[in-house]
Amino acid sequence: MELTEGEVAEKMKGLTLADEDVPLVHELDLDKIPAGRISKLWVVLFEDALKPMTVPVIIAKGQRNEVD
């Protein structure tokens, strides 16, 4: 099934990192990232006199299923 351009654009809306509610972190601790969802973060690489240098990060962390 192929998506139309409009359907692709609609699905991509939630992937933007321009939102102000995206957290800014100084270190990436994957244990603190919730499982079973896609998380968006800004990671600080370094800080200078003007502002921090950051990079956007998207993490897709799956849920672990226990096998008996």
Element (H, E) at 5: helix 5-12
Instruction: List the pLDDT tens digit at each of the 68 positions of the chain.
Output: 787 888 877 776 665 555 567 888 999 899 999 999 999 999 999 998 888 899 999 999 998 777 66
What is this structure's pTM?
0.59
Q: Sign (positive/negative) of CA torsion 23, 24, 26, 30? A: positive
User: Residue 24: which residues within 8 A CB-CB, separation 6 or more?
Assistant: 41, 42, 44, 52, 54
